[in-house]
Amino acid sequence: MNSTPSGPTTFGQLPPSTWPGERLGLPRLGPHSVGRVGRRIAALVIDWAIAVGLTCLIWGYTLLNYDGFVVLGVFVLLQAVQLAAFGASIGHWLVGLRLITITGERAGLWRPIVRSVLLGLAVPALVWDSDQRGFHDKIAGTVLIRR
């Protein structure tokens, strides 16, 4: 007699979420729900603009002539420091987001560093699951939620 499991046996076999964050026990909408793509992009644009501005001030570049790799380094450093210290970058804070672990705790020190370095590689941020968690968040065990 052939015995097959009646349901998923691993997390990878779970069906997609009905709403982002469902599998993590997060609400569909409102505070503590997963931060949606629009807010995340807005936060990214704000944080990138801050990194460009700081790079121009510190290294004497102009807004039309700067080294993108220097900006990327400043961006990653700012992300790691702000997320570890405050649980949100300036961009996240302005659009109402904060970073937590998937268990609901503060992200601590190592998670923001890993997340920020992977975000700097860009590819992990372009791939996400039905919970709208990018690969960088999945590896770090974090999720961006609404405040």
**pTM, two decimal places:** 0.85
Consecutive H or E run containing 92: helix 90-95
Cα 96 off chain centre by: 13
Name the stretches of the chain with pLDDT < 50: 1-9
Three-state secondary structure string covering 24-83: HCCCCCCCCCECCHHHHHHHHHHHHHHHHHHHHHHHCCECCECCHHHHHHHHHHHHHHHH
Q: Give pLDDT tens digits for 113-147.
A: 999 999 999 877 788 888 888 889 999 999 999 99
Closest of 88, 105, 77 to residue 40, by C-alpha: 88
